[in-house]
Amino acid sequence: MLTVDNLTCGYGDIMAVHGLSFAAGKGEIFAMLGANGAGKTSTIMCLAGHVAATSGRVTLNGTNITDLPAQARVGHGMALVPEGRRVFAELSVEENLVVGGHTIAGPALSANLERIFGHFPRLAERKTQAAGSLSGGEQQMLAIGRALMANPQLVLIDELSLGLMPKAIDACYEVLQALKADGLSILLVEQNTTRVLDIADQVIVLESGVKSWEGTGVEADGNAALLEAYLGTAG
């Protein structure tokens, strides 16, 4: 599905990610963890095409996408849910979703809307409501739904639970597990270590832009030294 080989990227002369390599499989939830400033967001933005790679290679389903612009990566099956959600506040919920599905039309668009509303019934109840009036949790649901409208094979999600109430986090994670069961691959950047390790198949930990640990979610959850040293929790 996604293969990252010796990736380096940053901003001007400042490199935020150094020689990063990993692989995420089809139908997996792949978690990228680490403290603030570890390079997680820089990595995900580079994978999505919003930050240029200075070296290395990114391959999606066997296609080299390293130098492709962000919109072209969408065409290859990648979608991004950015940190902060970034919904179009003045547009309705349904209009936001239609923006995400701008490459499809007619019955396919209607079917995708119904699919998203099936995953997120609260969005269906508020489909004519302005997105800016939604709660933080509902806006995160909308941001995920908007990404799904393009029928991606891989979704990149940056800081899913940031600023959300526990019930909203629960709802979003339940949908992620359902999407995984449908075969969708998910790369998840998180600081909510406890919750993400409950569902992650594979985990990497970044420290100062370098991969410091790699293993399964079960291995990470059972590694007290790792949790304490890198993730700020005792288990």
Read off the pLDDT of residues 33-79 as tens digits, 9 standing for 90 and up: 988 889 999 999 999 999 999 999 999 999 999 999 999 999 999 99
User: What is the residue extent of each domain of the chain?
Assistant: 2-77+152-231, 82-145
Helices marked H in 61-120: 70-75, 93-100, 106-119
Contact 205, 197 (CB under 8 A): no
Contact 142, 85 (CB under 8 A): yes
Res 234 pLDDT > 70: no
| Cα gap 84→98, rounded to integer Å | 20
For residue 202, CA distances in Å to 161, 180, 207 come to 19, 13, 17
Angle at 233 between CA 228 and CA 235, to 5 degrees: 90
The DSSP output letter for 146 is: H
Pairing of strands 185-190, 29-33: parallel
Digit-coded pLDDT (tens) for 86-126: 899 999 999 999 999 887 878 889 999 999 999 999 999 99
Q: What is the pTM of this model?
A: 0.92
| Cα gap 177→160, rounded to integer Å | 14
Q: In what order do the strands lie in the sheet with 210-216?
A: 78-81, 154-158, 185-190, 29-33, 202-207, 210-216
What is the structure's pLDDT at 231? 66
What is the structure's pLDDT at 235? 41
2-77+152-231 homologous superfamily: P-loop containing nucleotide triphosphate hydrolases (3.40.50.300)
Which of 44-48, 176-180, 203-207, 229-233 has the weakest average pLDDT? 229-233
What is the structure's pLDDT at 233? 60
| Cα gap 92→71, rounded to integer Å | 23
Digit-coded pLDDT (tens) for 185-213: 999 998 788 889 989 999 999 999 999 99
- Which string of DSSP letters, residue by residue, matches 189-207? EES-HHHHTTT-SEEEEEE
C-alpha neighbours within 13 Å on the C-beta side of residue 36: 2
Choice between 4 and 104, residue whose per-residue pLDDT is larger: 4
